[in-house]
Structure formats: structure tokens, C-alpha cells
Structure 1
Amino acid sequence: MSDGPVNADDLEWTEHDHGDRQFKRKKLADAAGGEKLGTSLYEVPAGKRLWVRHYHEGNEESIFVLDGSGTLFLGPDETEHALETGDYVALPPGEESAHDIEAGDDGLRLLMSGTMEEPDITVYPDRDMVGLYAGSAPGGDSDERTLSTYLDRHAELDYWEE
């Protein structure tokens, strides 16, 4: 059930600073009681990047640019697409939606939304890493997760071997 309207100005920013990956985030859907659709407001300073390039195997994401400009690196070949105010990008599950975002000279303010289905696998192609999530989707309540781990993408065991 919805908790009613939420005003972004009433929410605190969560700040992330990991070198060239620097941004602020407000989890709008979470604050409003959203369950199956997550939406966050992001601000990315000029020249900085958002999350590590990734795609989801089970969830769909989208991007809507509210203000500023930047570059979207999309797909397995990291094809560059200019982003500007008013642009919308759909990111269905799968490798074709692998994405990374870099803010332009005037920074970037955007909304990102995504389905919140679990379990989910997030693939990080540049790091040969996967994230596994069960109990709560990526971006969901981490306290509810029964599985949340990052593994080498090529780690493999023989099913029958002990």
C-alpha cells in the first residue's frame, strides 16, 4: 500500500564517492512505499560517473534525464550516446543493456527506475563479476536478503565433485 505522496525535497541525499564514480541518490519509491518498482533521483557532478557498468538478467531499468548532459555507454561495445534534458532510455534485461553513464560539463540530474523482482543476477562485464540477489532485489532492503554476494563471473565447480 502506498504511503502517499513524497516530495524529493523532504528526503536526505545518500552520497557515494568512489573516485571517478561519485553521485548523490534519493530513493523515491522506497520512501513512498513502492514494492515492485524502484525509482531514485540522482545527481552526478561534472565529469563523474554513476554505478559501475552493468546489466541485469532479471530486471528492467530506465533512465530519464531531468537536467544537464552526459554520455551513455551502451551495450557490449559501449556505443556512446549523448544524453540531454528530456532523454529517456529503456534498459531491458540482458547484455544489450549494459550501461555506464558519465556526466557532462554541467553535471547530470536524472531519474532511474527499475523493476524490483528477485532473484536477480547483475553482470559487471568490465570486472568479470556477477552479483547474486535473493530475498530482496538489487536496490531493495538489504536486511531482507537471503543471498547477496559478488563472485568471479568465471568461477565454476563440477556439480558432482565434492
Structure 2
Amino acid sequence: MKRIVNVADIELQPFPPGMGPTGETAERYEARMGRISVQLGAQQLGYNVTAVPPGKRAFPFHNHRVNEEMFFVLEGSGEVRIGNEKHPIRQGDIIACPPGGPENAHQIINTGSGELRYLAVSSKLSPEICEYPDTHKYGILGEFGPDAEGKPQVIRILTRQGDNVDYWEGE
């Protein structure tokens, strides 16, 4: 298996159909990503290169309760929201996003005039809980390896606090 790739050789793709922003959301969010960890056989870390056009962001403001992320700005400039603060970022900056509550929520925004590219690295612990402080949503994602037929087993739930069903409902 290939263990080395040059960043210049990473092919960037838009969000898969049905996974990207739509409607008014598409006015604020856009990104192309090159997922590379699987290609290189990584098991404990996920990594990709993300390219964001001017005025856009790749993902909503969020925090991880389980996984840690790190971003290395390859080119361009912008800002990162972390908790209640905003910080300018530029080529060469390294951004640490440890797991935790809303004080660790983060979002990278391209406020520059050219494309913003960064390397994203994260741990891959499962299950994961993400919170979205701006919209009061949370998500639970579990990836459990292939089933007997080789298909990936994934649980993905996105909801708001209080929208839960009772534990005993329907039992």
C-alpha cells in the first residue's frame, strides 16, 4: 500500500451528492476535499486537504466531545472562530482544536481574496458526539467497521436537545 503522497497530487472533490449544503446554506458553505488517510492506510488518524473559496466556510461552527482536530494552513488567509473569539489565520499557521464543550467549538472561514487551503488531521475515535452551538443541534456518529457482507456499519443521528424519544416508548 502507498504510504506517501505529495500535497500537490491530492485530488480535491466537492461534497458528495446529497451531502453538501443546499438552498440558502449553499451561499455560506462550500469546499472541496481530498481525503487521503484511507488511501495511505491510516488507522488512528483521519486527514484531508480542504479548499475553501473566498467568503465561504467548509463546515458549521461545532465542537467535538471525543475527537481532537488540528489544522495546518497551506495557503491563503482567513479567520478561525474558537469559542467566543475570532483569530486571523494565514499560511503556516497551526490551529489546535482539542475535544470539549462549546468553549472549544471552531469554524474556519475564508475572509481572504483567494482560495484557503488547509490540512485537517483528527483522531478517529468512535462513537463521536458533535455539538453545534449556533443552532443548538448535536450529532452522534458511530463507525463500526464492515458487516459480514463487507458493508460499512454507520450510525448517524442529528437532532436538537429535547427532541429525544422516551427510553421506554414503544417497548
* TM-score class, shorter: 0.7 to 0.9
Quick one: which amino acid aligns to residue 12 of structure 2? W
Identity percentage of aligned residues: 32
CA pair 136-43 structure 1, distance change in 2 beyond 3 A: farther
Identify the residue that residue 129 of structure 1 maps to in structure 2.
137
Task: Tell me which of 95, 98, 110 is aligned to 2:105.
Answer: 98
Given that 2:50 and 2:118 are in contact with CA atoms closer than 8 Å, whether structure 1 keeps it comes out as yes
TM-score (norm 2): 0.80
* Deviation >3 Å, runs of 4+: 7-11, 156-162
Identify the residue that residue 148 of structure 2 maps to in structure 1.
none
Deviation, 1:102, is: 1.0
Deviations 1:100-138 (A, max 9, x none): 11112222111111000101111112222111112259x
- Within-5 A mapping of 1:132-151: 132-136=140-144, 144-151=152-159
Aligned residues: 154
- Within-5 A mapping of 1:20-59: 20-59=28-67
For structure 2, the residue ranges without an aligned partner over 5 or more in a row are 146-150
Query: What is the DSSP-based 3-state SS (H/G/I as helix, E as strand, rest coil) of the residue aligned with 2:114?
Result: strand
Given that 2:80 and 2:107 are in contact with CA atoms closer than 8 Å, whether structure 1 keeps it comes out as yes
- Root mean square deviation, CA, Å: 2.1
Identify the residue that residue 140 of structure 1 maps to in structure 2.
none
The structure with the greater share of residues assigned to strand is: 1
Given that 1:8 and 1:28 are in contact with CA atoms closer than 8 Å, whether structure 2 keeps it comes out as no
Quick one: which amino acid aligns to residue 26 of structure 1? G
TM-score (norm 1): 0.84
Given that 1:47 and 1:107 are in contact with CA atoms closer than 8 Å, whether structure 2 keeps it comes out as no
The structure with the greater share of residues assigned to helix is: 1
Given that 1:128 and 1:154 are in contact with CA atoms closer than 8 Å, whether structure 2 keeps it comes out as no
Given that 2:12 and 2:49 are in contact with CA atoms closer than 8 Å, whether structure 1 keeps it comes out as no
Deviation, 1:161, is: 5.7
In the alignment, the residues of structure 2 paired with residue 21 and residue 72 of structure 1 have an alpha-carbon distance, to the nearest angstrom, of 15
Pair member with larger Rg? 2
Deviation, 1:35, is: 1.2
Quick one: which amino acid aligns to residue 145 of structure 1? Q
